[in-house]
């Protein structure tokens, strides 16, 4: 066992290296003084400082935060409600709802983007931050619903029964028991939704209008012109933020039962 | 549990939102794929609908998509998606096996977390990282020049190989995670029983491990193959104008060529391919009775 | 113990699709008694309890608690509380908050809550545990918190759904005694669900043995054990030696029968009608059978000739596996009173199965029910 484990372990280490080396290189070179070459010429935070003065990037960042925030808020409310419907009720159209939620995740992004831009065009809807928010809500609802639904599935029904048994009415049970226990799932869903929203390029590129450029769109247009250290710097910042968000979401998604197992 | 109205009320906002902003747009796109375009990229009004339908002109864009130029693009999308899926599967399985079965239980959350992070981090930035590494002034060329292996920088970017690397790199976590989920559920005593019954390791792998984790393998294949087929960013950034995939073709019709009906037709061909695949997957999971993916 | 009914169940039925989980059950639970619903898994005992608690709505029938019809009342409107199988302690609340959870709905002034919580915890010997989290407690402690939480509301009837199932054997035995003592001192009606016959016997005043959604027998604990009414109850209570015999005749007090092997015997009639020529089935518990080398029929002791097949040493006792003249399988349990001296009977040896007539339990036949 030992020998095989060692060999497999070394192999797994290589896979991790493959996953992380490109990202690590990006991060390291965001501190490189050289503007053009891939040669290390000493450390600097110059590119980060120049980011802070780059109005285009700042404007795009602001747009991304607005879109991510608003879309996440709406998607979290919708997604949580529909997850409750699926996890706690039997109703007409349940199967349809399930499929409806998986479709936006499954359909190629490019198709969704094309469909939305055609739709907005047909309605003579001006492309703006609003159309971007709408597009993001469409694909974020599913992620929130899936995460919250998973949390509900691991939820001990008898806790709600116990609350009813102790005299709490259904609404009181929801606010004193269901919601607090569901909260980590909802927050995790919201964090993931936010992460996806601020990362999205393909769909946004279709539905963004003049003045509603988001950060990925801005980065993309910079890439098309040429690789610059500022792109490395802004990429590093985005990576840092997503890693933190993901770590928090992961921690929250762990069910309380898993923590109890040791006791 | 009886049917109740609360479920409908809770689902209603999502039905409305996805109905108006998802299903309706798809329906409109579908209709547009049968329409005529005018010179400026808009749609040309159709006078006599009956005559238009009778003329068979409404299928013009679908017919056009069968032109060899486009078939070549579809073919490239297909084989690149297939190669990406196969390479991801072969690379991921031993790694997932290590995380789920061999590694110590205490280290498992960390190892898993290290796969989850790239799963969620920006696909754009992860693709850009390869652009940074492979470009003419990039790290690889610099190392090769410094080592004296080449005298001129190699053109590593803007070819099929670069696109494949980007696809494999981008999709790898989407293969490892479902494989892990399946392997983690595998009862270890089954492996021990197989060994106890005299099966060599390779036979245990072939006769026990792989069949038992088939749901994870199939889920991983779907999770990697479907996005690869509709890929846009990787081919645009790493393939440039040389390696065009179906995704770029669609995007071009909307952004540059301004031929929405044709773009819509290709989009629906792509969607049909994806849905067909998922339909097959749904049938498979129904038969197996377990579903790692959804 | 009064004979006032705490819970009156009439014709209660619960169907899940085509299956009747509970099938037209009628029974009365007396105020202040320790009442057990006993049966194998899937017999409907938990569904019955959940209908009393209000978690399942019956398909037909009615439930009254202290005279009030609660058949369709929501759980929060019933004067009963439940101790759940896996305790259902709220993981996001402390022990104290768990116990106080229902008080605000039962008109307890906020100021009184800490005192009442402390009193409830004292009842289960967990004084001072208010600020602990459920996940910091042992299984036994959690079970006691669940009990305190339910008792803190002073319910008229306490429902317990296999609350000891998750505890280990030794702890279970202790808790059984404590729970029984607690019930006696509080005088609250306990309705206890279990699949463990020993547990039911240890704690209960009366037991309803359930099978396939029906009550097979409702009796005092000792009578269920000693006088099982049906074959199912007898088997479930561990009595496994069935004798199928023909009735030859009898008088007012007894029936005369022919035992396998031909010997005659007279069994107490127990007020039931048996006619000559009818088939009759009775059962004798393994520990009430005696394996002898000689036929005792001549001395008036019912004896059946058997062949010894095997012997199972169990430490405290020995079980003999034997076969009757018609190939019937019997098991005989005997206490190991002396150090083990090896087998009294070799495999294949001839022996006689003897029992006292008063230990023969006459069972209802299928048509009798």
Q: What is the pLDDT of residues C86-98, one digit of tens each?
A: 999 999 899 999 9
Q: Is residue A1 part of a domain?
A: no
**For residue A157, what is the nearest residue in chain C, using CA coordinates?**
C88
Q: Is residue A214 part of a domain?
A: yes
The most confident of the ranges A30-44, B4-18, B138-152 is B4-18
Q: What's the pLDDT score for residue C66?
A: 93
- Cα end-to-end span (Å), chain B: 23
Asked whether the beta carbons of residue C90 and residue A162 sit closer than 8 angstroms, the reply is: yes
pLDDT digits (tens, 9 = 90+) for A103-120: 888 889 999 999 999 999
Q: Rounded to whole angstroms, how far apart are CA atoms C285 and C292?
A: 16
pLDDT digits (tens, 9 = 90+) for A126-144: 999 999 999 999 999 999 9
Mean pLDDT of B117-129: 86
Asked whether the beta carbons of residue B232 and residue A110 sit closer than 8 angstroms, the reply is: yes
Cα torsion C74, C76, C80, C83: sign? positive
Q: Which of C85, C102, C136 sits opposite A166 (nearest CB)?
A: C102
C332 lies within 8 A of chain A by CB:
no
Mean pLDDT of C184-196: 94
Q: What is the DSSP letter of B217?
A: H
Alpha-carbon distance values, C294 to A104, B137, B177, B189, C309 (Å):
84, 106, 73, 53, 17
Mutate to test the interface with A, among B3, B5, B15, B22 (most CBs of A within 10 A): B22
B281 lies within 8 A of chain A by CB:
no
Position C169 pLDDT exceeds 90 = no
Q: Looking at the 3D structure of chain A, how many domains does it have?
A: 1
Asked whether the beta carbons of residue C101 and residue A163 sit closer than 8 angstroms, the reply is: yes
**For residue A166, what is the nearest residue in chain C, using CA coordinates?**
C102
Q: If pLDDT is split at 50, 70 and 90, which confidence band does C272 have?
A: confident
Q: How many CB pairs under 8 A join A and B?
A: 254
Q: What's the pLDDT score for residue B40?
A: 63
Position C299 pLDDT exceeds 50 = yes
Mutate to test the interface with A, among B5, B11, B143, B245 (most CBs of A within 10 A): B11
Q: What's the pLDDT score for residue A263?
A: 31
C149 lies within 8 A of chain A by CB:
yes
Q: Residue A9: its chain B contacts at CB < 8 A? A: 98, 102-103
Q: What's the pLDDT score for residue A4?
A: 55
Q: Which of C76, C137, C153 sits opposite A164 (nearest CB)?
A: C76
Q: Is residue A12 part of a domain?
A: no
Q: How many CB pairs under 8 A join A and C?
A: 75
**For residue C88, what is the nearest residue in chain A, using CA coordinates?**
A159
The pTM of this model reads: 0.81
Position A14 pLDDT exceeds 60 = yes
Q: Are strands C189-194 and C34-38 parallel, antiparallel or unpaired?
A: parallel
> How crowded is residue C289: how many other Cβ atoms within 10 Å of its Cβ?
22
CA max distance for chain A: 71
Q: Which domain holds residue A130?
A: 46-262
Share of chain A above pLDDT 90, in %: 49
Q: If pLDDT is split at 50, 70 and 90, which confidence band does C340 have?
A: low
Q: Rounded to whole angstroms, how far apart are CA atoms C158 and C169?
A: 23
Q: What's the pLDDT score for residue A258?
A: 41
Asked whether the beta carbons of residue C135 and residue A164 sit closer than 8 angstroms, the reply is: no
Q: What's the pLDDT score for residue C368?
A: 40
Q: Are B22 and A135 in contact (CB under 8 A)?
A: no
Mean pLDDT of C307-332: 91
Mutate to test the interface with A, among B5, B12, B16, B18 (most CBs of A within 10 A): B18
Q: Residue A158: its chain C contacts at CB < 8 A? A: 84-86, 88
What tokens were used for B215? 């749901």
Mean pLDDT of C229-234: 91
Asked whether the beta carbons of residue B122 and residue A235 sit closer than 8 angstroms, the reply is: yes
**For residue A258, what is the nearest residue in chain C, using CA coordinates?**
C135
Q: Are C41 and C195 in contact (CB under 8 A)?
A: yes
pLDDT digits (tens, 9 = 90+) for C40-55: 999 999 999 999 999 9
Q: What's the pLDDT score for residue C364?
A: 65
**Subunits adjacent to chain C (3 or more Cβ pairs under 8 Å):** A
Q: Is residue A2 part of a domain?
A: no
Q: What's the pLDDT score for residue A116?
A: 95
Q: Is residue A29 part of a domain?
A: no
Q: Residue C150: its chain A contacts at CB < 8 A? A: 165-166
Report chain A residues touching chain C, CB-CB < 8 A.
156, 158-159, 161-169, 172, 176-177, 180-181, 256, 259-260, 263
Q: Is B46 helix (H, G, I), strand (E, B) or coil?
A: coil
Rounded to the nearest 10 degrees, the angle between the axes of helix A2-29 and helix B68-97 is: 120
Asked whether the beta carbons of residue A202 and residue B232 sit closer than 8 angstroms, the reply is: yes
**For residue B172, what is the nearest residue in chain A, using CA coordinates?**
A19
**For residue A171, what is the nearest residue in chain C, using CA coordinates?**
C76
Residue (of B120, B226, B168) closest to A198 by Cα position: B120
pLDDT digits (tens, 9 = 90+) for A75-89: 999 999 999 999 888
Mutate to test the interface with C, among A159, A165, A170 (most CBs of C within 10 A): A165
Q: Rounded to whole angstroms, how far apart are CA atoms B261 and B29?
A: 8
Q: Residue B15: its chain A contacts at CB < 8 A? A: 93, 97, 100
Q: Which of A11, A16, A82 sits opposite B14 (nearest CB)?
A: A82
Q: Rounded to whole angstroms, how far apart are CA atoms C174 and C170?
A: 7
Q: Which of A84, A92, A242 sits opposite B121 (nearest CB)?
A: A242
Asked whether the beta carbons of residue B137 and residue A36 sit closer than 8 angstroms, the reply is: yes
Q: Rounded to whole angstroms, how far apart are CA atoms B49 and B57?
A: 11
pLDDT digits (tens, 9 = 90+) for C237-261: 987 899 988 888 888 788 888 888 8
Position B204 pLDDT exceeds 80 = yes
List domains and CATH numbers for chain C. Answer: 5-228 (3.40.50.300), 239-363 (2.40.50.140)
Lowest pLDDT segment from B6-20, B199-213, C172-186? B199-213
Q: Is residue A13 part of a domain?
A: no
Q: Is residue A160 part of a domain?
A: yes
Backbone angles phi and psi of A181, in degrees to 5: -75, -25
User: Can you give the three-state secondary structure of chain C, one letter per residue?
Assistant: CCCCEEEEEEEEEEEECCEEEEEEEEEEEECCCEEEEECCCCCCHHHHHHHHHCCCCCCEEEEEECCEECCCCCHHHCCEEEECCCCCCCCCCCHHHHHHCCHHHHCCCHHHHHHHHHHHHHHCCCCCCCCCCHHHCCHHHHHHHHHHHHHCCCCCEEEEECCCCCCCHHHHHHHHHHHHHHHHHHCCEEEEEECCHHHHHHHCCEEEEEECCEEEEEEEHHHHHHCCCCHHHHHHCCCCEEEEEEEEEECCCEEEEECCCCCEEEEECCCCCCCCCCEEEEEECHHHCEEECCCCHHHCCCEEEEEEEEEEECCCEEEEEEECCCCCEEEEEEECCCCCCCCCCCCCCEEEEECCHHHCEECCCHHHC
Q: Is residue A26 part of a domain?
A: no
C85 lies within 8 A of chain A by CB:
yes
The alpha-carbon gap from C92 to the nearest alpha carbon of chain A, in Å, equals: 7
Q: Rounded to whole angstroms, how far apart are CA atoms A1 and A24?
A: 33
* CATH number of the structural domain spanning residue A121: 1.10.3720.10
The alpha-carbon gap from A226 to the nearest alpha carbon of chain B, in Å, equals: 10
What tokens were used for A34? 């050289």
List domains and CATH numbers for chain B. Answer: 61-288 (1.10.3720.10)
Q: Rounded to whole angstroms, how far apart are CA atoms C188 and C238?
A: 30
Q: What's the pLDDT score for residue A1?
A: 44
pLDDT digits (tens, 9 = 90+) for A159-216: 999 999 999 999 999 999 999 999 988 998 898 899 889 889 999 999 998 889 999 9
Q: What's the pLDDT score for residue B41?
A: 60
Average pLDDT, rounded, for chain B: 86
Asked whether the beta carbons of residue A177 and residue C90 sit closer than 8 angstroms, the reply is: yes
- Cα end-to-end span (Å), chain C: 30
**For residue B128, what is the nearest residue in chain A, using CA coordinates?**
A223
Q: Are C82 and C53 in contact (CB under 8 A)?
A: yes
Q: If pLDDT is split at 50, 70 and 90, which confidence band does B294 have?
A: very low
Q: What's the pLDDT score for residue A216?
A: 93
């Amino acid at each position: 066992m030992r020998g095989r484990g060692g060999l497999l372990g070394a192999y797994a280490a290589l896979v991790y290296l493959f996953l992380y080396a490109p990202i690590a290189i990006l991060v390291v070179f965001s501190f490189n003084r050289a503007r053009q070459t891939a040669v290390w010429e000493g450390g600097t935070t110059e590119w980060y400082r120049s980011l802070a003065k780059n109005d285009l990037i700042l404007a795009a960042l602001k747009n991304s935060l607005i879109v991510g925030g608003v879309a996440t808020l709406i998607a979290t409310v919708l997604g949580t409600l529909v997850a409750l419907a699926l996890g706690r009720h039997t109703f007409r159209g349940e199967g349809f709802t399930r499929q409806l939620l998986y479709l936006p995740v499954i359909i190629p992004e490019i198709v969704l983007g094309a469909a939305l831009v055609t739709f907005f065009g047909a309605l003579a809807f001006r492309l703006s931050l609003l159309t971007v928010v709408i597009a993001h809500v469409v694909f974020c609802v599913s992620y929130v619903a899936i995460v919250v639904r998973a949390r509900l599935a691991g939820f001990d029904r008898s806790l709600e029964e116990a609350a009813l048994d102790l005299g709490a009415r259904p609404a009181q049970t929801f606010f004193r028991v269901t919601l607090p226990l569901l909260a980590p799932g909802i927050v995790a869903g919201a964090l993931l939704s936010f992460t996806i929203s601020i990362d999205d390029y393909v769909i946004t590129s279709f539905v963004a209008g003049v003045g509603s450029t988001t950060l990925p769109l801005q980065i993309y247009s910079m890439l098309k012109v040429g690789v610059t250290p500022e792109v490395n710097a802004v990429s590093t910042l985005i990576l840092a933020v997503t890693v933190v968000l993901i770590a928090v979401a992961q921690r929250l998604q762990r069910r309380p039962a898993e923590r109890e197992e040791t006791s | 549990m009886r049917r109740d109205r609360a479920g409908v009320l809770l689902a209603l906002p999502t039905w409305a939102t996805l109905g108006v902003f998802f299903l309706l747009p798809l329906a409109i796109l579908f209709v547009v794929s049968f329409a005529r375009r005018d010179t400026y990229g808009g749609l040309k009004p159709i006078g006599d609908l009956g005559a238009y339908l009778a003329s068979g002109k409404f299928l013009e864009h679908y017919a056009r998509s069968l032109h060899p130029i486009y078939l070549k693009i579809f073919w490239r999308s297909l084989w690149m998606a297939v190669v990406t899926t196969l390479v991801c599967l072969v690379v991921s399985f031993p790694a997932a096996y290590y995380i789920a079965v061999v590694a110590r239980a205490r280290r498992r959350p960390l190892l898993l977390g290290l796969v989850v992070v790239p799963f969620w981090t920006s696909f754009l930035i992860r693709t850009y990282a390869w652009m940074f590494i492979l470009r003419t002034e990039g790290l690889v060329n610099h190392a090769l020049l410094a080592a004296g292996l080449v005298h001129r920088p190699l053109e590593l970017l803007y070819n099929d190989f670069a696109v494949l690397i980007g696809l494999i790199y981008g999709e790898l976590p989407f293969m490892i995670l479902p494989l892990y989920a399946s392997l983690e559920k595998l009862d270890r005593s089954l492996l021990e029983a197989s060994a106890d019954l005299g099966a060599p390791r390779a036979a245990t792998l072939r006769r026990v491990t792989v069949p038992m984790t088939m749901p994870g393998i199939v889920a991983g294949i779907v999770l990697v193959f479907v996005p690869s087929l509709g890929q846009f960013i990787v081919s645009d950034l790493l393939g440039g104008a040389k390696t065009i995939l179906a995704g770029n073709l669609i995007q071009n019709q909307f952004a540059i060529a301004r031929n929405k009906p044709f773009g819509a037709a290709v989009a629906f061909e792509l969607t049909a391919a994806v849905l067909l695949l998922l339909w097959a997957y749904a049938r498979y999971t129904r038969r197996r009775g377990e579903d790692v993916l959804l | 113990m009064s004979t006032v009914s705490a819970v009156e169940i009439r014709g209660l039925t619960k169907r899940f699709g085509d299956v009747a989980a509970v099938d037209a059950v009628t029974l009365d639970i007396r105020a202040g008694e320790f009442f057990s619903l006993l049966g194998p898994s899937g017999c409907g005992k938990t569904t019955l309890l959940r209908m009393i608690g209000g978690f399942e709505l019956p398909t037909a029938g009615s439930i009254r608690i202290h005279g009030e019809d609660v058949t369709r009342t929501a759980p929060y409107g019933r004067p009963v509380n439940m101790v759940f199988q896996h305790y259902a302690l709220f993981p996001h609340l402390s022990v104290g908050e768990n116990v106080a959870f229902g008080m605000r709905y039962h008109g307890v002034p906020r100021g009184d809550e800490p005192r009442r919580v402390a009193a409830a915890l004292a009842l289960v010997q967990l004084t001072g545990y208010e600020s602990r989290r459920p996940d910091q407690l042992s299984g036994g402690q959690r079970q006691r918190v669940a009990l305190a939480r339910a008792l803190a509301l002073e319910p008229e009837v306490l429902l317990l759904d296999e609350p000891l199932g998750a505890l280990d054997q030794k702890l279970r035995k202790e808790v059984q005694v404590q729970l029984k003592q607690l019930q006696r001192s509080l005088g609250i009606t306990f309705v206890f669900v279990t699949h463990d016959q020993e547990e039911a016997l240890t704690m209960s005043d009366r037991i309803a043995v359930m099978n396939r959604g029906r009550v097979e027998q409702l009796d005092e604990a000792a009578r269920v054990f000693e006088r099982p009414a049906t074959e199912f109850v007898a088997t479930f209570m561990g009595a496994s030696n069935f004798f199928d015999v023909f009735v030859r005749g009898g008088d007012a007090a007894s029936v005369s029968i022919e035992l396998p092997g031909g010997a005659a015997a007279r069994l107490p009639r127990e007020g039931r009608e048996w006619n000559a020529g009818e088939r009759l089935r009775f059962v004798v518990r393994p520990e009430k059978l005696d394996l002898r080398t000689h036929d005792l029929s001549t001395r008036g002791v019912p004896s059946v000739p058997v062949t010894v097949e095997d012997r199972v040493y169990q430490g405290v006792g020995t079980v003999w596996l034997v076969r009757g003249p018609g190939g019937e399988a019997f098991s005989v349990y005997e206490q190991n009173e002396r150090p083990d001296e090896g087998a009294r009977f070799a495999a294949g040896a001839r022996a006689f199965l003897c029992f006292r007539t008063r230990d023969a339990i006459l069972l209802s036949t299928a048509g009798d029910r």
